[in-house]
């Protein structure tokens, strides 16, 4: 196949509607806008959400309530089983995790260690948060944890 052989699929390209080009076109004279009225005028029509003077939906819905979304904590999560690649008794922190390719970036609230999987080496783990099961698995092997 060559570039000069490429063709659009049937019906893929549709020419734009040419308005005001005579009676035979079907969109001549008033160009499909009908006679007079707001929508026939230049710049005519109503803004989005306008309901003809009726109170629009966005004003009828109550604006009460509170969302905790902007206060939510966002952590980069890692399971203890992902720490098995490090040497025994080494210190594991955000920089080492990035270098090892275990995480791609550190979220705004830091790193949280989860307790999924099994840990086979004793490590000194430095992170912002630990689950109880992760603390238990790290310390049971003689490792230590440090919350920053």
Domains and CATH numbers, the chain: 73-147 (3.100.10.10)
Query: Would you state the pLDDT for residue 112?
Result: 96
Query: Would you state the pLDDT for residue 21?
Result: 94
Interior angle at CA 123, CA 145 and CA 74, nearest 5? 50
Query: Would you state the pLDDT for residue 5?
Result: 93
CA atoms of 51 and 65, how far apart (whole Å): 25
DSSP state string for 8-44: PPTTS--PPP--SS-GGGSS-TTTTS-SSSGGGSTT-
DSSP 144: E
Query: Would you state the pLDDT for residue 90?
Result: 93
DSSP H helices, the chain, are 57-60, 94-100, 132-140
Query: Could you tell me the two tokens for 20?
Result: 């005001």
- Quote the pTM value: 0.57
Q: E strands of 65-116, at which residues?
A: 76-79, 91-92, 111-114
| pLDDT, mean of each 10-residue run, the chain (148 residues) | 93 92 93 94 94 94 88 94 92 93 91 94 94 95 92
């Amino acid at each position: 196949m060559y570039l000069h052989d490429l063709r659009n699929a049937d019906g893929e390209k549709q020419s734009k509607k040419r308005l005001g080009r005579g009676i035979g076109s079907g969109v001549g004279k008033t160009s499909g806008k009908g006679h007079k009225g707001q929508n026939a005028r230049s710049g005519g029509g109503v803004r989005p959400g306008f309901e003809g003077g009726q109170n629009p939906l966005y004003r009828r819905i109550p604006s009460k309530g509170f969302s905790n979304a902007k206060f939510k904590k966002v952590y980069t999560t890692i399971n203890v089983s992902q720490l098995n690649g490090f040497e025994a008794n080494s210190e594991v922190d955000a920089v080492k995790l990035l270098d090892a390719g275990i995480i791609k970036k550190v979220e705004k609230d830091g790193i949280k260690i989860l307790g999924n999987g099994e840990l086979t080496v004793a490590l000194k783990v430095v992170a912002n948060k630990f689950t109880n099961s992760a603390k238990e698995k790290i310390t049971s092997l003689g490792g230590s944890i440090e919350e920053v």
